[in-house]
Amino acid sequence: MGMALKDKVVLITGGASGIGEAVTRRFIQEGAKVSIIGRSKDTLAKMKGEFGENILTYQGDVSKYEDNEQAVQATVEQFGKLDVLVANAGVFDGFAKFADVTPEALSEAYDFLFNINVKGSFFGAKAALEELKKTNGNIIFTVSGASFYPDGGGVWYTASKHAQIGLMRQLAFELSPSIRVNAVAPGGTLTALTVIPPLRPFVKIVDNDTKASSIKKRNILQLAQMPEDHVAAYVLLASDESRAITGEVISSDGGLSVRGL
Q: Candidates 3-11, 89-97, 100-108, 170-178 — which segment interacts with ligand NAD by CB under 6 A?
A: 89-97
Which residues make beta-bridge pairs with 11? 35, 85
Of 58, 149, 157, 234, the catalytic one is 157
Nearest to 35 by CA among 18, 54, 50, 17: 54
Backbone dihedral region for residue 42 (phi beyond 0: left; psi -120 to 50: alpha; all else: beta): alpha
* Minimum distance, C-beta of residue 164 to ligand NAD, in the bound complex (Å): 8
Q: Candidates 3-11, 27-35, 60-68, 74-82 — which segment interacts with ligand NAD by CB under 6 A?
A: 60-68
Binding mask 192-231 for ligand NAD (x = CB under 6 A): xxx-------------------------------------
Binding mask 134-153 for ligand NAD (x = CB under 6 A): --------x-x---------
> Is residue 58 flagged as an active site residue?
no
Q: Which is nearer to ligand NAD, 62 or 175 (CB)?
A: 62
Cα separation, 84 vs 197, whole angstroms: 31
Nearest to 138 by CA among 238, 252, 31, 259: 238
Cα separation, 119 vs 208, whole angstroms: 29
Residue from 5, 9, 11, 19 that binds ligand NAD (CB under 6 A)? 19
Instruction: Classify 161 as helix, strand or coil.
Output: helix
Q: How far from 59 is each of 128, 152, 191, 211, 238, CA to CA, in Å?
A: 17, 29, 20, 29, 23
- Count of residues binding ligand NAD (CB under 6 A)? 28
Considering only the C-alpha atoms of the chain, give the largest distance between any 2 of them, rounded to a whole number of Å.
52
Residue from 61, 83, 93, 131 that binds ligand NAD (CB under 6 A)? 61
Which are the catalytic amino acids? 157
Residue ranges binding ligand NAD (CB under 6 A): 13-14, 16-20, 37-40, 61-63, 88-91, 116, 142, 144, 186, 188-189, 191-194
